[in-house]
Structure 1
Amino acid sequence: MLSAGMAISGTAGLFSIESGQPTLNVIFFRCVFGATALVGWSALREGWKSLFITDRALWPLVLVSGICLVLNWVALFQAFKLTSIGFATIIYHLQPFWIVLAGAVLLKEGLSRHKLGWICVAFLGLVLTIIPKLGVMRADHDWLIGVGLALVASLFYAATTLTTRAVKSVKPSVLSALHCLIGVIVFAPFVDLAALQGGDNGMWGWLVGLGVIHTGIVYILLYSSYPKLPITVIAAGSFLNPVAALLSDFLVFGRSLTAMQGAGLVLILLAGLAVNLGWPFFLISPRKIAPPQES
């Protein structure tokens, strides 16, 4: 379930671009069809009452986390269009490091020298990823904007993760359904009806797939697998997301990474795995413990 969920989620960019719709239309219908799938699943599994949060103190957190999530989708999907699925996905995977840094600054969580070392490795990977595209960004400002949007998307996702930590009493599937409903309300006024009328029948297949498959089925697969697996397996499985994104970019649009960008991607993913699993940073030697003195 984890492997399938991660691999499918990596093709979300392909569905959004192939729909041919403006980004706000894509996000609105992802929320509509995603909410339909998740509300139906939650109602069948937990009953309709599970969709109502009785603790009013949680409502602001649910609202903030939902808005951050849908804004993350907007920024990321627009980044796909302005750059490429693979390039934007690499930058987007800086999200674990924003969570670590925000946790240290805002939540006073410890930031060890080892985590700081791996964060530096990740940002070195970002530099290696961007260097081959400097000429493109100078000539085409859309690329530069796309890079910024991918970074913004990763920041919004980190904000979503941090705010949802405080609503652990709400089941993940229910919380995701509420997030989608928030997205429907937020983006309904911005739907471009003219663009919808100009679309073909295949457009609806891509939009329904993005909502039902990438939001409904993928979330169910991931949230069902997380409690059954150790963190090591979950962290390793997360590699399938960028791999699927890069493959879809290459197979459908013929876009590939340079050797330098590939090295950058490896550094970012390796550093993310190290932070998640608590690996020691190899350049920091462990403190030596003095042997006990004989009495």
Structure 2
Amino acid sequence: MKARFEIIFSMAAFGTIAVFVRNIGLPSREVALYRAVIAALALLLWQLCTRQTVRWQDVKKELPLLFVSGAAMSVNWILLFEAYKYTTVAMATLSYYFAPVIVTVASTVLFREKLTGKQISCFVMSTLGLVMVIGVSGGGGSHDLFGILLGLGAAVFYASVVLINKGIRHVSGLNRTFMQFLAAILVMTPYISMTGGSHLGSLDINGAVNLMVVGVFHTGICYCMYFSSLRYLKGQEASILSYIDPVVAVIISVAVLHEAVSPLQAAGGFMILGFTVLNEWDAGAARRS
């Protein structure tokens, strides 16, 4: 029950992150960098308190994959945070959660995993849902469409992180995330210095508080809760519970931010989430058999 509470709480918290990101008056690339810095410090503190050590001999074996996945994670964050600026939180999140579909299809090519008829149907219906979301938004303005495409781009990079992580076998989940944060920092720091430098000094009190919440709470604390819960939950249960994130994000978008979502967009979003969850359920059953 404790593990279920931890993953439900962390996923619900992830669904609120857009509200705080929108109140940080910094470019998306800087928000992503400072999020990684704050979260890396929080995870380091957690490891020291729980006496978890990083086995550097294992890290050396996986260093190239850890670096590439950390770089992909940073691009994923930047694109998602940028998507929040151009479209509604609901549409950015729903397009972002197309990532599991991308992982399923890419796995057939990279790992020669066979698709069942049910998985193919889920892929087709999830893609149709995405087309419905993009098609309606395309008629509502180029900014809205651009935001959804940014969310879809974030999904591609998130899917790449998942696929790369399949090849990382010697580093545990929490240590893996810590090393990926460090890699993201190494990638983003020179990039930001070459594209206008840091604007952290111009951040007001409200922006600074929101940045700390995103870094410490949404990333540091919630990541620790998420990874600690995975040890006690089945993979299928954890995958399905992770969809609390987009559900909360859609509710926040409509009920709190009062952003408009058309009936056709809502139907498309339901298809993306519904058939993706169904695909996860089918994949879990296949693994058990």
> Does the CA-based 8 Å contact 1:30-1:211 persist in structure 2?
yes
Shift in Å at residue 184 of structure 1?
A: 1.8
Q: Which residue does 1:181 correspond to in 2?
A: 182
Q: Deviations over 1:40-66 (max 9, x none)?
A: 11233244x416344533111111111
Q: Which residue does 1:116 correspond to in 2?
A: 120
Worse overlay, 120-129 or 165-174: 165-174
Change (3 A) 1:134 1:97: same
Work out the CA distance in 1 between the residues paired with 2:57 and 2:82: 32
Shift in Å at residue 119 of structure 1?
A: 0.3
Q: Which residue does 1:7 correspond to in 2?
A: 12
Work out the CA distance in 2 between the residues paired with 1:55 and 1:34: 19
Q: Which residue does 1:265 correspond to in 2?
A: 269
Q: Which residue does 2:24 correspond to in 1?
A: 19
Q: Which residue does 1:290 correspond to in 2?
A: none
Q: Where do 1:31-70 residues align within 5 Å?
A: 31-47=36-52, 49-50=53-54, 52-54=56-58, 56-70=60-74
> Does the CA-based 8 Å contact 1:3-1:240 persist in structure 2?
yes
TM-score computed with the length of structure 1 as normaliser: 0.87
Q: Which residue does 2:287 correspond to in 1?
A: none
| Ranges in structure 2 where 5+ consecutive residues have no aligned partner | 1-5, 285-289
Worse overlay, 236-245 or 148-157: 236-245
Q: Which residue does 2:34 correspond to in 1?
A: 29
Work out the CA distance in 1 between the residues paired with 2:119 and 2:154: 22
Q: Deviations over 1:57-88 (max 9, x none)?
A: 31111111111111111111111111121111
Change (3 A) 1:194 1:162: closer
> Does the CA-based 8 Å contact 2:96-2:151 persist in structure 1?
yes
Task: Give secondary structure in 1 for the equivalent of 2:261.
Answer: coil
Worse overlay, 52-61 or 124-133: 52-61
> Does the CA-based 8 Å contact 1:43-1:51 persist in structure 2?
no
Percent identical residues:
28
The reply to whether residue 92 of structure 1 matches residue 93 of structure 2 is no
Task: Give secondary structure in 2 for the equivalent of 1:50.
Answer: coil
| Ranges in structure 1 where 5+ consecutive residues have no aligned partner | 281-295
Work out the CA distance in 1 between the residues paired with 2:204 and 2:59: 44
> Does the CA-based 8 Å contact 2:26-2:199 persist in structure 1?
yes
> Does the CA-based 8 Å contact 1:43-1:50 persist in structure 2?
no
Q: Deviations over 1:4-33 (max 9, x none)?
A: 010001112221111121101101110110
State which of 131, 134, 140 in structure 2 corresponds to 1:136: 140
Counterpart residue identity of residue 217, structure 2: I
Q: Which residue does 2:245 correspond to in 1?
A: 241
Change (3 A) 1:176 1:118: same
> Does the CA-based 8 Å contact 1:67-1:183 persist in structure 2?
yes
Counterpart residue identity of residue 169, structure 2: K
Counterpart residue identity of residue 4, structure 1: F
Shift in Å at residue 249 of structure 1?
A: 2.2
Larger Rg: 1
Q: Deviations over 1:196-224 (max 9, x none)?
A: 33321111111111111111111111111
Q: Deviations over 1:114-142 (max 9, x none)?
A: 211100010111122223212223xx3x3
Change (3 A) 1:12 1:174: same
Counterpart residue identity of residue 41, structure 1: W
Q: Which residue does 2:157 correspond to in 1?
A: 156
TM-score computed with the length of structure 2 as normaliser: 0.89
Q: Would you say how many aligned residue pairs link Structure 1 and Structure 2?
A: 276
> Does the CA-based 8 Å contact 1:75-1:149 persist in structure 2?
yes
Change (3 A) 1:51 1:215: farther
Provide the aligned C-alpha RMSD in A. Answer: 2.0
Q: Which residue does 2:148 correspond to in 1?
A: 147
Work out the CA distance in 2 between the residues paired with 1:193 and 1:71: 17
State which of 75, 96, 99 in structure 2 corresponds to 1:71: 75
> Does the CA-based 8 Å contact 1:32-1:184 persist in structure 2?
yes
Work out the CA distance in 1 between the residues paired with 2:21 and 2:111: 35
The reply to whether residue 168 of structure 1 matches residue 173 of structure 2 is no
Shift in Å at residue 193 of structure 1?
A: 5.6
